[in-house]
Structure 1
Amino acid sequence: MGDIYRIYLEYCKHQVVLEPDNWDFKSNSNYTYMLEHNNFYHIGIKYYECLMNKYGDIINNNKEYIYNIIKINDQYGKPEKHAFNDLECSPTSLKYILHSLLFYDFINKYHLNNLDIIEIGGGYGGLCFIMKKIFELLNVNVSSYTIFDRIEASLLQKKYLNNLNTEVNICQIDNINNIKNNSVLISSYAFSEIPKNLQDQYIKEIFNPYIDYSFIVWNNIPVYNLNEDKYIINEELEYPQTSGGIIKNHYVYLIPKV
């Protein structure tokens, strides 16, 4: 996948052998050049304001529960935290809350439950942890959660989530196991970043046989329909918009053609 990933993957290998209290990947430049590079206050306050504007009722009615989820996710890895009114946390945790609630809106619109979730590119596992907790709060059953990634990242995800008592199945695109038909998929700044040949492999081996509904936080390249014979594609500009380039980020929704 290219030399750009080498330092990041080596640091994943370095971190996975440490005890959780010694992790620092959320603030170490050997990791954050690839992930966790938007952990600035000006990004976090946009996530916070977006959450309060769009999901204020859910958050205010379940503040202790949601703030505790965020606190647990920020407990390990030494993240950069900022104060947002009465909440001190990492912007990444706010992003994961937002993406979890957006995904909830999507699956709820189509009356989906008892979900087998597949995530492409799982970071350190934080979205998996937060989403499962948010879905539990909102009475959505997650039957299984599988993350596809490079093996070095997968092993760190597995250890991180085990430490948080969160069950996950880890896979690589060349090592697929325990995938369920009619799964739903999420990918946050990942699928659209990988090389086109890998995108094509995921489309052939994951999307086409297993996935009906997908929510993709799309960046880096123009949006395209992964399979025009299978999917209807809907898209909207990401909010808050985190791209500073010409190509803007989008929320992309794939639903099956009837």
Structure 2
Amino acid sequence: MKRLVLGVQYDGSGWQGWQTQPSGNTVQDALERALFQFCGRELTTVCAGRTDAGVHGIEQVVHFDTDLDRSAYSWVNGVNSFLPGSVAVQWAKELVLDEGSQDNFHARFSARARTYHYVLYNSKIRSPMWAGRAGWVFRPLDVDLMREAAEKLLGEHDFSAFRASGCQAKSPVKHMYEITIRQQGELIVFTLRASAFLHHMVRNIVGSLLFVGTGRRSPAWMAEVLESKNRSVAAPTFMPDGLYLAKIDYEEKWDLPHSGQIELPGFLSLL
């Protein structure tokens, strides 16, 4: 038995999120259908982080166990031949599975950090070119004020104020390593890197930063929200359209590839 690890990219616009549902209209459902068609047997995948409906994956990492012998090339191209155009495997890596060991690779539990991008289109008039690919705010935004507010969230904190009511995480305490906010014309890209994220945490943080950016709240308010540990104090959950799961960090010992195809801020500079 071996453990296969895949890097998967997807446009989340037409999907009901990552996690399998009775409707069958999720990214996990599409991937597992393709694996069944390629392998002739059912395989259950485990992902690094579930994404909601409308959220995109630049590099989702998944694993599953199998005794099938296939090359990495075969796994990538064979599975992709059964996937819809909005989902594609970017790489495959075979790891030895030591049954009974606590030291096996796990897509979720072996992750050291996760990075998300949120792309925002800031213009008086909405653009259909960014529909489903970026959030939209028509009021002018002060990026410097949002950067000042974002600094209040760095470090290890209880992020309950930014946690969805249905969140299943065991603890609301996470370590926020970095938040950067870059502006390129009418596009603003928020990049958040943390040990892990609670359900809706990125979208709730972005929504609160927008309250600061539009002048509805001061940067100091962000610290007050964090300290409150009360979801009702923060801003409403912002739209999913511009959210991208960008990167999962693992120990070097696993020697996992990276898709290397899209670094979102760099990509946007070409537009």
TM-score normalised by structure 1 residue count: 0.24
Q: Please identify the structure whose Cα radius of gyration is greater.
A: 2
Structure having the larger proportion of residues in helix: 1
Structure scoring higher RCO (CA < 8 A, sep ≥ 6) equals 2
Structure 2 length normalisation: TM-score? 0.23
Greater fraction strand: 2
